[in-house]
Amino acid sequence: MSNFYEWLKEVRCTTVREAAKKFAVFYTSMRKRLKRLVRRGVLEEKKVGRVAVYCLKDGAELPPPPPRKRIRTKIVQRAEQAAELLAAEGCVATSALMQKLGLSHTQALYVLRLLQGEGRAVEVLIGKTAIWCRDRRAAEDLIRRLRDAVHRLAVSNGLRYVTPSKILHIARRDKAYELFTKFVNLSRFDGDYIPPVTLAFIDSILASLYGGPIRHAPHKHVYFVTPHPRQDLGDIAIKDGASRAVTVSLPPDLAAALADAERCGTSAEEIVKQAIDQLLARYR
């Protein structure tokens, strides 16, 4: 609003359409604002043909800009409660924080974003599930524990090929069940039905361990279990207030070439350069 007043002092006269376009607001909203200033005696409305022109009156004093909104005390209290919960638990799902603090999803997300902006919370995206941790170390530790649990379930049960649903059914008889239930709902199993959000959670972990699925089917991805899982996190992203995490899905052939390069001691940079040269040659 203060920028609007400074602009009025500079241009002296404006139309509703011109002002609305300048400040990227709706035509009706800008018209109400200009009419309000006319009633206050700040602007004078003139007609140029059929167009209304609003001009700043000589000697008129613009009202002071509105004070910046302060974060309400209740929001600050909620943010501190959320920070205390993160400090105690390490990592919590958004739904768990909502339940423990009695907040709606919008309220919980708002205070978590505040904490993220202050560097007191980081967000972990696993599939479609958002998990909030007190810091990056806690986030990395959680991802490691989840990956280790999923890999242990696959290897200890002698699985050569595995699907997200298979891991979830095995987990019901394993100590990993307690870990998974902290972040996804495992109580809604109805026969063979598993909620898509829960499947996406395990699917993302499997992809980070074993790369892309070897077979795609509707609601069913099949992964080949390798004794030595990948070290990168794939599509699992850690986001904090300081930087945005960027995830890239590599084509299977490029991912395999990078893995071979790492084993053979070739630099990943050289492999990427070769891939770029091949793409350029293909489209010339």
Residue-wise pLDDT for 12-64, tens only, equals 899 998 988 888 788 888 899 899 888 888 888 988 888 899 998 887 776 66
Give the residue from 212, 180, 214 showing the smallest Cα distance to 198: 180
Residue-wise pLDDT for 87-120, tens only, equals 999 999 998 999 999 989 888 988 998 898 888 9
Q: How many domains in the chain?
A: 4
Taking CA 154 as the corner, what is the angle to CA 254 and CA 215, rounded to the nearest 5 degrees? 45
Residue 6 lies inside a defined structural domain of this protein: yes
More confident residue, 40 or 141: 141
Q: Is there a contact between 36 and 45 (Cβ–Cβ < 8 Å)?
A: no
Which structural domain, as residue segments, surrounds residue 160?
139-239
Q: Hey, which of 2-6, 49-53, 258-262 has the most confident mean pLDDT?
A: 49-53
Give the residue from 180, 212, 215 showing the smallest Cα distance to 199: 180
Q: Are residues 147 and 216 in the same domain?
A: yes
pTM of the shown model: 0.59
Residue 256 has pLDDT above 80, yes or no: no
Q: Are residues 179 and 257 in the same domain?
A: no
Q: Are residues 133 and 151 in the same domain?
A: no
State the average pLDDT over residues 184-204.
79
Residue-wise pLDDT for 234-254, tens only, equals 778 888 764 444 455 666 776
Residue 274 has pLDDT above 50, yes or no: yes
pLDDT reported for residue 244: 46
Residue 168 has pLDDT above 60, yes or no: yes
Give the residue from 223, 91, 202, 198 showing the smallest Cα distance to 146: 202
Query: Which residue matches tokens 């959670």?
Result: 201
Q: Are residues 77 and 14 in the same domain?
A: no
- Considering only CA atoms, give the Rg of the chain: 28
